[in-house]
Amino acid sequence: MIQADQRTSFRAALVEAGHLVPTGVRGVFGRGARFEAVRLGLDALITRTAADERAEVLHFPPVIPRHLLESSEYLHSFPHLAGTVFGFEGSELEAAEQYATASRHDDWSRFQTMSDLVLTPASCYPVYAAIGARPPLCPGGVTIDPGAAYVFRREPSDDPARLQMFHMRELVRIAEPVTALAWRDAWVERGLALLRSLGLDATPDVAADPFFGRAGRMLAASQREQQLKVELLVPIAGPEPTAVASFNYHQGYFAGLNGIQFEGGADVHTACLGFGHERIVLALLLAHGLDSDRWPVAVRDQLGLDG
């Protein structure tokens, strides 16, 4: 109950300050000017930090082919988080019925049919497919920057740190196994330094994804045991710190799924990292106060807020 109260009062303060604008749906907010200035400053800071990667920029919209989701394990691991896109393909008469039904806020789902698109669950998904469609990789592999893409997670919540659609700034490394793992591990340290340079009390932790159902507990245990996922945790609201960045080693899973190969046939492994923009901004607002004009000069400098 304490936790719920803290979250409710923090959310109310964020709305009052104009940082978040309610839409009427839980976990879906507009964002005000100062929130966005901090968020874009953060994105630029991540870009500067990653400059030595010389990553290839490759941006995708927040929808991916349904086929890609079907071919992955996503619906096995996270059926509760996926969002699918439906549309109308009926006649003029059906369109009129649909409109009349929807106007009454009655159930008009029967007029909608499943399209060939789903909402992007993680911004690296389309990257693996695109690299798999290229000729085999040269030694050393590639590093891809999908930018700060919107991703969707169907988990309506009153926690302002748990949004249904948010910006995940990823980097993706596709390389030899040792290289991919070393890159992941190095970025845990770089991410930690980045967050601490913003005055955030960040700590790393071996973690697991929120796998669905009873079988999910075994998947989570296995993921932890193999240390495939490391998160950086920061206090936001509630007694437990919140994950604001994750660093993932997928071994050969995504390479195999998408047919990514090296010239000559050596093993390809992948790793990715993701910074959750909105969560980091919330952590900054909690750590330094709701008025970003009064944040420590060093933090404002890092975020380019005086530029």
Considering only 7, 10, 148, 152, the residue that binds a second copy (CB under 8 A) is: 152
Minimum separation from the CB atom of position 273 to a second copy (A):
19
Which range, of 5-13, 162-170, 256-264, 299-307, touches a second copy by CB under 8 A?
162-170
Minimum separation from the CB atom of position 230 to a second copy (A):
27
- Is residue 166 part of the contact set for a second copy (CB under 8 A)? yes
CA distance 120 to 129: 13
Cβ proximity to a second copy: between 122 and 129 the closer is 129
CA distance 228 to 89: 43
Minimum separation from the CB atom of position 132 to a second copy (A):
11
Which range, of 2-10, 42-50, 60-68, 249-257, touches a second copy by CB under 8 A?
60-68
Instruction: State which H helix or E strand residue 119 sits in.
Output: strand 112-119
- Is residue 24 part of the contact set for a second copy (CB under 8 A)? yes
CA distance 307 to 299: 13
Q: Tell me, what amino acid is at 175?
A: A
Cβ proximity to a second copy: between 90 and 259 the closer is 90
CA distance 184 to 222: 18
CA distance 107 to 71: 31
3-class DSSP state of 218: helix
Cβ proximity to a second copy: between 108 and 253 the closer is 108
Minimum separation from the CB atom of position 99 to a second copy (A):
5
Considering only 6, 8, 49, 98, the residue that binds a second copy (CB under 8 A) is: 98
Q: Is 79 exposed, middle or buried (0-12, 13-18, 19+ CB in 10 A)?
A: exposed
- Is residue 112 part of the contact set for a second copy (CB under 8 A)? yes
Which range, of 2-10, 55-63, 183-191, 203-211, touches a second copy by CB under 8 A?
55-63
Instruction: State which H helix or E strand residue 224 sits in.
Output: helix 213-225
For a second copy (CB under 8 A), the number of binding residues is 74
Q: Tell me, what amino acid is at 255?
A: A
- Is residue 62 part of the contact set for a second copy (CB under 8 A)? yes
Burial letters 201-237, b for 16+ CB under 10 A, else e: ebeeeebbbebeeeebeebbeebeeeebbbbbbbbbb
Which range, of 194-202, 207-215, 265-273, 293-301, touches a second copy by CB under 8 A?
207-215
- Answer for the pair 275, 46: CB distance below 8 angstroms, yes or no: yes
Considering only 6, 17, 49, 154, the residue that binds a second copy (CB under 8 A) is: 154
Q: What letter would DSSP give residue 293?
A: G
Cβ proximity to a second copy: between 110 and 186 the closer is 110
Considering only 132, 150, 251, 259, the residue that binds a second copy (CB under 8 A) is: 150
- Is residue 165 part of the contact set for a second copy (CB under 8 A)? yes
120-139 positions binding a second copy, by CB under 8 A: 126, 129-130, 133
Helix pair angle (2-16, 277-288), 10° resolution: 90
Q: What phi and psi values does residue 291 have, to the nearest 5 degrees?
A: -100, 100
Minimum separation from the CB atom of position 159 to a second copy (A):
16
Cβ proximity to a second copy: between 133 and 266 the closer is 133
